[in-house]
Each structure stands twice: as C-alpha cells, then as structure tokens.
Amino acid sequence: MTREPFDRFAADQSEERRSSVRGGAKAGHEARGRALEADGVPFDRLRSLAARIKQHTLDHLDAYLRAATTSLESRGVTVHFAADAQSACGIVTDILDRRRAIRVVKTKSMVTEEVELAHHLEQRGIECIETDLGEFVVQLARDRPSHIVKPIIHKNRAEIAATFESHGLGPYDDTPEVITRRAREFLRRKYLAADAAITGANFISAESGRLVLVTNEGNSRFCLAATRCHVALVGIEKLVPTDRDVGALLDLLARSATGQRLTVYTEFIAGPRGVGQLDGPDEMHVVFLDNGRTQVLASDCRQILRCIRCGACLNVCPVYRQASGHAYRGVYAGPIGAVLSPLLEEPGRRFLEKADLPRASTLCGACHEVCPVDIPIEELLVRMRDRAKRSGATSGSTPSMGAWALVASQPDAWRAALSAGRLLAVLPGWLGPEPLRAWRDNHALPPWRGGAFRRWLEKRGAAHAR
C-alpha cells in the first residue's frame, strides 16, 4: 500500500479515539463561536490589528530582540540565546546545575516539547514534572500531546483513570473530579519540593520586558510561588512591541482557544519577586530560541510565525478532526502544524520526512477564517506543496500527471478514455495500477458521466444542420 504516512496514521486510529478528537474539536469550535457572538466582538477588525502587530514585530525582529534584551536585563533577568534544540537544553541544564537543582516543575509549553527539554533533563538525572493536568497525563502515559491547547483531546476518562491507577495515584476511578483532585494532591508536593520552574511564554513585551503567561489551572502560578528559580524558554517570534499590543492579543487568544473572555490566570512577570514578597523566584532567566525560526523568517511562508497557538485552526479543520494530532508526527498538529513542522526542519532528509503534511488538507480555508492573526494558511499550504515538489518529495497517493497529459493532448485517445471510464464503475477495486487501488480503498466513485457533453453537442449540431 503506497499511502502517505499521514493517511496511514489516520487510518490506523481506533474509532474510539477518532470520536474523542472529533467531539473535542467540534466543542472547542462551537465555544469560540458563542464567545465571539455573545460579546459582539468585531472579529475581522480586531484580527486585522492583531495580524499587523505580529507581522510588524516579525518584520523588525532584530530591533525588537535588542529592545527586549535591554528591558529584560534592566529588570534583573538574565537573557540567553539558543540557536537550536541542543543549545537550548544545554543552557537550561547549565542554569540548573549551577543551582544544584535536581527537581524541576514545568508548565505547558510548545517550545519545551519542540526541543524535548523534559526528556533531556531526565536523562541527566533531573526530575522534570509536567504540571498541566493534560500534560501530566501524557507524561505518565509516555504518550504525546495531540492538540496545542487540549493535549489529551484523544483520550477518554477510562484511559486516564487506568494511567493514574498504574502509577499509584489511588485505585481506579474515572470520575473527572476525582482524577483532578488526585492530580492536585500529588502535584502540590512536587511544587513545594521543586528547586526550579520551567515555563514558556505567550508574549514578551519588548518595551516593558514583561513576560505574559496564560493558564486556566493555576499550575504556572504555583510554579512561580513555590520555587526560587524561573527559567522561561521562549521562541523569538513571541515578542510584541508594547504592553498595549499584549492587550489586543489577549482580547483574541482565550476567545479563540476556549471561548473564554480571558483565560483564568494571566500573569505579567517582570523579573524576580518583589521587595517584601516571601514567595517566588529570586533568579529569572529567559532563553530565546531560534531552532529553525530564522529559516522560516527568511522564507515566503513567514506569516506562519504570527501564530499565537490558540488551536482554533485545529478545532475547525475537517482533516484534523478525522486524523487526530498524532498523524502530524510532531509537536504542532493541524493546519498550523502542516505548514510549520516541515518549515522548522532542516532542508533535506528531515524536511522530506514531513513533506506530506501540507497535502493533508482540503484547502477549504476554514483555518484561515478562524485565525485570530489572519494567517492565510491555505495559501501557505499550497506554497509548501510547491516547495515539497521542488525538493524532490515523492507523493504516495497522487498518480503522475504524465498519463493524463498524454491522453488529454490527443483527441482520439481522449474519446477512447471517456468511453473506457464507464468501466471504472464495474471493475473490481483490486484491478488497476497501485495508486488507483489505494485511492479506491478510501473513496466511492460517483456514477460515470464522461462523454455526455459530446453526445449532446453532436445531437444539437445535427439538429441545427437540418
């Protein structure tokens, strides 16, 4: 079977899992719609502002990186730059080693997933506990997150309860409330015992040096109340010019992600804890990560870097809903992942391994319609298909155009093909060349109507001649 890797993942998925993902994504999309409608949000006007804020920052990223570094340092934050995953993990490990930190708690962060930071730390004997409930379940189950905002959208309560049971978190009980309470009890001990906290950032204001974190559960608040050292790993595209710009983006982020006006907790962190404050870090580090982002910035798909990771494009995407996040074989799933994942890879073999992702789309543009920063995702998907073709990616399921060209350029051959087409409806599925067989496994053919127009035209011509 020469299906594309994406199709294989999608096809091998259990019906149970497919229905979890479809239900969760649909609910997320509907919540978004209700939130925008209830408040009468002028979505198009607001997202045009948000898009221009992010694009402006990207187009002047050199200046804003310098400004952010200066303002962060003036707030007592140590700023580091990491060119790639290995360097990022190295910098974080060095910071922890200097403090002799061996127990770390971390919040949900896409970029730490991207560089596999938790895995790296664990290999060096540093305990690194995920504190977001979904990510905690993923960590215990040695699974992978399948959604940017809802990491365990693919799991049902029974699977989660079984995971908790096998890790000694009480006897089997699949009540969502019991699951949540058990995580609360367990993770409290972890926060209080931890030497350092690792977070990402949703935004950094270059002007004020304020790092903004949003969470619903409060795990990030706990991380920053119970530990003495805060390390934030941040993609260079997370910058915005001013606090005011943060405000405009916050107006869109929670509504797009979960249908809330604001996420429950929005933290504005500008350096180590204040004078007189007894809780929280006395040392703070920001590590700015490139890891392929400058390569994206130099490409004709740079708009993808505007993304604020709300997950709205995943929720609305008909392909994501059927295939689930794991089919995208990387940290970023859905339409955004189909563009970003291959772009972040090195050109060559690594890129080609993900070159099928941009084809996992119907190009319907629903992702663009819901995007709070107006990324023309369907356009970028087409550019990525072109890039894949030019890079020599082979395609698993699309038959070559050569045969079609041959037939279409010769009238007699065309007429013959049109009549022969009728046979497709009666021939068994196993007959025919491999790509056609693979295609027919997944598709039902409509009744053949080829040649009808020519027959009509001939009759009409004959009638007029009389």
Partner 1 sequence: MPDDRALVMRRVGAALSSLRSREPLPVHPEDGTGASSVCASAARANPVAAFVTQLASVGGRAFEAPAPLAEWLTARGFLRGYCDREALGALAGAFAPPLSLDTRFMADRIDEYDFGITRAAGAIAETGTIILNDALTSRRLGSLAPWVHVAVLKRSDIVPTVSDAIRALGTDPYVVWCTGPSKTADVEGILIQGVHGPGEQLVLLT
Phi, psi of 188 (to 5 degrees): -55, -45
The residue within the footprint of partner 1, chosen from 99, 119, 124, 188 (CB under 8 A), is 188
Q: How far is the CB of 108 from partner 1 (least distance, A)?
A: 10
In the complex with partner 1, which residue's Cβ is closer, 272 or 421?
272
**Residue 264 tokens, joined:** 């429950």
Of the pair 48, 123, the CB lying nearest partner 1 is at 48
Q: Of 104-123, which residues contact partner 1 (CB under 8 A)?
A: none
Pick 96 or 393: Cβ nearer partner 1: 96
For the bound state, the minimum distance from the C-beta of residue 386 to partner 1, rounded and expressed in Å, comes to 19
Residues with Cβ < 8 Å from 335, sequence gap 6 or more? 313, 314, 317, 319, 320, 361, 367, 377, 381
What is the x/- site pattern for partner 1, positions 206-245, by CB under 8 A?
--x-x-----xxxx-xx-xxx---------x----x-xxx
Q: CB-wise, 160 or 317, nearer to partner 1?
A: 160
Torsion sign over Cα 25, 109, 193, 87: positive
Question: Contacts with partner 1 in 34-63 (CB under 8 A)?
Answer: 38-42, 45-46, 49, 52-53, 55-56, 58-62
Which residues in the 295-324 window bind partner 1 by CB under 8 A? Answer: 295, 297-298, 302
Q: Considering only 84-92, 346-354, 388-396, 402-410, which stretch makes contact with partner 1 by CB under 8 A?
A: 84-92
Closer CB to partner 1, 88 or 393, in the complex:
88
Name every residue whose Cβ is closer than 8 Å to that of residue 330 and which is 6 or more positions away in sequence. Answer: 337, 341, 354
Minimum Å gap between C-beta 275 and partner 1 is 8
Contact positions with partner 1 (CB under 8 A) in 6-25: 20, 23-24
Euclidean distance between CA atoms 201 and 203, whole angstroms: 5
Closest by CA to 82, choosing from 290, 338, 344, 304, is 290
Tell me: does residue 339 bind partner 1 (CB under 8 A).
Answer: no
Do residues 332 and 367 lie in contact, with contact meaning Cβ atoms separated by under 8 Å? no
Span from 291-299, 333-341, 362-370, 395-403 in contact with partner 1 (CB under 8 A)? 291-299
User: Closest approach of Cβ 7 to partner 1, in Å?
Assistant: 27
Closer CB to partner 1, residue 112 or residue 361?
112
Q: Which is nearer to partner 1, 295 or 395 (CB)?
A: 295
Residues within window 250-279 making contact with partner 1, judged by CB under 8 A: 250-252, 255, 258, 260-274, 276-279
Question: Which residues 401-440 are close enough to bind partner 1 by CB under 8 A?
Answer: none
According to CB under 8 A, which residues from 133 to 172 bind partner 1?
133-134, 137, 150-152, 156-157, 160
Strand 211-215 relative to strand 203-205, pairing? antiparallel
Nearest-approach distance from CB 464 to partner 1, in angstroms: 56
Beta carbon of residue 323, minimum distance to partner 1 (angstroms, whole number): 19
- Nearest residue (CB) to partner 1, 59 versus 458: 59
Nearer to partner 1 by C-beta: 36 or 355? Answer: 36
Among the candidate windows 5-13, 79-87, 312-320, 447-455, which touches partner 1 by CB under 8 A? 79-87
CB of 285 to partner 1, least distance (A): 10
Tokens of 353: 């391994």
Please say which residue, 267 or 378, places its beta carbon nearer to partner 1. Answer: 267
**Using rule CB under 8 A, residue 81 touches partner 1:** yes
Strands 239-240 and 203-205: parallel
CB of 18 to partner 1, least distance (A): 15
Minimal distance, residue 401 CB to partner 1, in Å = 32
Q: Does 346 bind partner 1 (CB under 8 A)?
A: no
Other Cβ atoms closer than 10 A to 86: 12
Nearer to partner 1, 131 or 361 (CB): 131
Which CB atom, from 157 or from 449, has the smaller least distance to partner 1? 157
